[in-house]
Structure 1
Amino acid sequence: MRAISVIVVLAGVLSCRAATPDLRFGWNEVDYVWDSPTQRESAIKSRHFLPEHNLPLGLARWKNKLFVTVPRWKSGVVSSLNYVDIDGAKDQPLKPYPSLKDNYVEDTAKEIPSNSSIVSVFRVFVDACDRLWVMDSGLADILGSPNQITGPSIVIFDLNTDKLLHRYYLKVTDMKEDSFFANIIVDVDNATCDNAFAYIPDLGGYGVVVYSLKQDDSWRVSHHYFHFEPLAGSFNVSGIEFHWTDGVFGLALSEPRENGYRTMFFHAFASTKEFCVSTELLRNYTHIDKNEAFHDFKLLGDRGEGTQASASFYDISTNVLFYTQVNRDGIGCWNSNKPYTPENNPLLFSDAELYEFPNDLKVDDEGTLWLLTDKLPRFVYRSLDSNELNYMIYSIKTKDLIKGTPCEN
């Protein structure tokens, strides 16, 4: 708890210079709400639970729940889909969703125990119809002995009842040899909930899969802009240099345009450029001329050297696209009413100690931005110190964050 206090003090010092987010949650290591104390003891003894292998990565808010994902990077992850209570303790244990039983899948399993079972989730999305959309990679022990327990699938829950609504497995034609699905965004409004579309980036196979809930069908979209940028594949975080070839990963949707369709902003993780395309093209991709459609994908611009971003989210209330800055330990932004230039993409805040590796961010329906940082490079290439605060979640009002910056309207 002392580490949390230090972070709060440091954040207070920074706030004298600019608007900075409040620390809402922080963990040295994460733990879970178990069905019984003996269950936890048994899981540790059998090595089904290795606390040091459980790293939070994605988040999304719905009412009093803040969902937190824990991918199965390594063995010993108890629950991949979880939540914390917004008004709960800063270091509260994660609550498995929809239950511990649904998340408790052995790393060596050959199949999932039930249709509502969750294997390994990176990012989730809460839609306007009170549904949680989960992109389950189905892959366990990714960095150890990878085991594809089940195929990649979209899992949808009713948040009002916590019941499974639907599970859809991606088709063979949606995937390539190196496909990896770790993100999902949803295009829908609460007047036509049955006509939802999900867009899933394939960061390893360099494409985007579109899923129609009404048709219960999916199709793959290909384009050069989904590939990584060769000169932007090198990263340096906390003195750790690494080289990734992740393609399209960050997706964000604008408000509906005059024709009823939205603009999808997108970028590869290993890139400093931002692109866009109309969702009209994505929804109708199977019926259009692919050669003509190629030119409907647009380059918005380049943020500048070292500005690779893992996640992005478009805030409809401010018309601002927010995105993480993994090399710069902070968050950047761009007002969509302005040209996409480095000058119009300011770094809103940055601190190597407070915001090391900002991994995911979302803006909720109250105009609050939520940010999760997790020191992922240390976790992957070295190790984390359980005496330090390693995983942190912050929040701030978007209008306060952009005040006085080029992103303010």
Structure 2
Amino acid sequence: MSTEKTGTGNTPPGAHLPEHPDVLWRNPEPKRSYDVVIVGGGGHGLATAHYLVKNHGITNVAVLEKGWLAGGNMARNTTLIRSNYLLDESAFVYEHALKLWEGLEEDLGYPILFSQRGVLNLAHTEQDVRDSVRRVEANRLNGIDAEYLGPDDVAKICPIVNVSHDIRYPVLGATYQPRAGIAKHDYVAWGFARRADSAGVDLIQDCEVLDFVTEGSVEDGNARVTGIRTSRGDIACGQVALCAAGHTSTLLDRLGVETPLQSHPLQALVSELLEPVHPTIVMSNAVHVYVSQAHKGELVMGAGVDSYNGYGQRGAFHIIERQMAAAVELFPVFARAHLLRSWAGIVDVTPDASPIVGRTPYSNVLVNSGWGTGGFKVTPGLGWCLAHTIATDELHPHIAPFALDRFVTGALVDEHGAAGVAH
């Protein structure tokens, strides 16, 4: 990926500037040691580095990325941002993130094309309607904007949705969150990277983690990681945050830490460029598709995960075929649109469809994984909370419910069916 400048922004007084004015960040050699090492140069890792600097003044930080910055799921998601989750624990962290999204462009001094166009989650059965009303009421109790709409109001917000009664899954209504929206994922990553780099954080690309240097014993409760062995040499560390999405479980395997994570391909696609016709975001569990229109004009569509486990960034054709059939059923106007390209990311999912964030058996290692299909939308909120935890050695309240030990205690945060279609 090129790091040529694609936008403008403000640099804080006294900030460390890149050596060349035509690049967004430096490409430094790794130092021998850092106070904090973040493994994973995607949105979560970059946001954590940014808030370590901004909120806590911690700058002796390295972000290690085995490929190029934001070249994993951050560059492969479909950019949807919302906070209308059912359970309190999920709603709190996603709403925290949404509030940060609303001021993020000013914070980063960089354009991210954040567009609050709203999201409709369609209801197609009587049970869908009951579940939708329940979610709306739960959202309102948590101070989150939400309303339930009938078919006529759905058509007013998005006139191209097929709300006729003679289709396989007629639209009986929808939840609506007006503050939901989209942002340009690449710009978000570049904005976080630029800010972190300007403050002195080392963003180290082409740096794969090969192993860990440890001391102490997990059984005795005094285990810690003292260094990280990488493809660019050994790096000593004070604290470590693992933010490698679908590959987090492979890193923890090297530490002998078992996690209930499964990694799956998740496909998405875009159409050719079209005139602006789709004013919002529409999601449907019953026909299993979601559709928005990007700033340039292409339709951005996604569906559910491929059922098999794997790390290949390519999925099965039948998923795309069903996805297109569902999109055309909901949006007949798209029947003649042409598919431009498709791709897949790697999502890591847990038994209760909620993330794993917090401590590990190693006293100085934090884990951040299992966000499934919701990782992009929580980017600034997770970065804020993880930076707080690193800096204060106290779990931020918004991530405390997602500890790894809940799979032992039974305190699960079960979001199955509550979060909606993959997104």
TM category (shorter chain) comes to under 0.3
Q: TM-score, with normalisation over the residues of structure 1?
A: 0.24
* Structure with the largest fraction of helix: 2
Q: TM-score, with normalisation over the residues of structure 2?
A: 0.24
* Structure with the largest fraction of strand: 1
